[in-house]
Amino acid sequence: MQQRKLGPFEVSAIGLGCMNLSHAYGTPPSAQDSETLLLRALELGVTHFDTAALYGFGANETLVGQVLAKHRSRFTLASKCGMTGVDGRRVIDGRPATLKRTCEDALKRLQTEVIDLYYLHRWDKQVPIEDSVGALAELVSEGKIRAIGLSEVSADTLRRAHAVHPIAALQTEYSLWTRNPEIAVLDACRALGVSFVAFSPLGRGFLADAIQTAADAEALEPRDIRRGMPRFQAPDLADNLALLPAFRDLAREAGCTPAQLALAWLLAQGEDILPIPGTTSIAHLAENLSAAALRLPAEVLARAHALINPATVRGPRYNAATQAEIDTEE
């Protein structure tokens, strides 16, 4: 597979977001199916695996450790701290002592001596970003992590953090239907030499035909986080669904699937952009990774951009409560 720079590392252009093997989108797959998918990703050339302490409240790190620890030299391991499960609740806590304790727990669950890229999952606005990044810098000095990342932060917060310790990567949502990074943070990353990792590059499945009708959205499991996202709810959902037929037609014309078109568009936005789509399906895994080899005409990518963009997509990406927890430009 095509390779790209992830901070000091060289990894597959498309990585694997491991979250939905344990978290967020309803009932996760069995342990056996999850193991099969992780190993198949490795076989297909994925060398960038992304997990977090939050996912499954530690279960996802445990899964990744149990399955991939014996192959540790073959991939770059990314995980996250600063947002964890406490007594069954999601808690944002960026205090230095908490971050260090989370890292120690993560190293045990991941069955590794060092985490290659360790993100602050959310900036705890009660704690100066300089203090949280300072704690991560100490973990670098101690040899427990190799590089520092940030997730869902603004350009200003990135610059403040980078002044304390070099930031290797910034991770936030980026896709045809979520363009917030284009406001400011993508330019800031490029000015500072920070790699950009795009999570939810398929619009949480929307750009991969996972939701084709209002009934599909209504049928989502109670624990599926999309049930609380305005874009998947009336009245915004109907307008968003109306975008899909022309997008499917364009993908068919280009000789690829809608998911591959969405990923090809994202990869074409810059060599410094690394998508990490997640999936529970072996077939979808192969489909997604095949997008790295696509070379679609600029005219096709421009038409995709014109079809699905901030002017055509309806609704914010998060509800008000979640939006208040993040720091990205809107």
Residues 6+ apart with CB under 8 A from 240: 177, 206, 231, 313, 314, 315
DSSP per-residue codes, 181-221: GGTTHHHHHHHHT-EEEEESTTTTTGGGTS--SHHHHHTS-
Whose structure tokens read 């540790």?
A: 72
Q: What amino acid is encoded at 319 in this protein?
A: N
State the catalytic residue, choosing from 25, 55, 118, 119: 55
Structure tokens belonging to residue 279: 């999936």
318 is catalytic: no
Q: Which residues pair with 50 in a beta bridge?
A: 17, 78
Q: What amino acid is encoded at 295 in this protein?
A: R
How far is residue 201 from each of residues 22, 63, 251, 262, measured CA to CA in Å? Answer: 19, 23, 16, 7
Residues acting as catalytic residues? 55
